[in-house]
Amino acid sequence: RICSIDSAPPPVGSTLKLRLTVTLALLMLVVVFLVQNAAMVEIRFLFWEFAMPRSLLVILMLLNGIVIGWFMRAMYRLSRATQD
């Protein structure tokens, strides 16, 4: 980070306070999402059939996408490393 003589870095306490505020706001949004999407949905996949809350399904699909993206990135980096 480049700092000039005229600009001082923000105080540590204010940065921590900002992070805490943003974290709490995001947590509140997650709680609202969970409450508003508590309805049960029926899932059918191949020969399995089960029910779960809609919010849990969305969170599981998000985590699934994150894991797939992480693996794809690792495979891309590995292929780039072997090419060099």
The predicted structure's pLDDT at residue 71: 94
Predicted local distance difference test score (pLDDT) of residue 2: 58
Number of helices (H) and strands (E), helices first, in the chain? 2, 2
DSSP state of 46: T
Alpha-carbon torsion angle 29, 35, 37, 42, nearest 10 = 140
pLDDT tens readout for residues 20-76: 999 999 999 989 988 898 899 999 989 999 999 999 999 999 999 999 999 999 998
The per-residue pLDDT for 42 is 94
**β-sheet bridge partners, residue 45:** 48
Taking the mean position of all CA atoms in its chain, how far away is CA 70?
A: 12
Residue 61 to residues 43, 50, 51, 84, Cα–Cα distance (Å): 13, 16, 15, 35
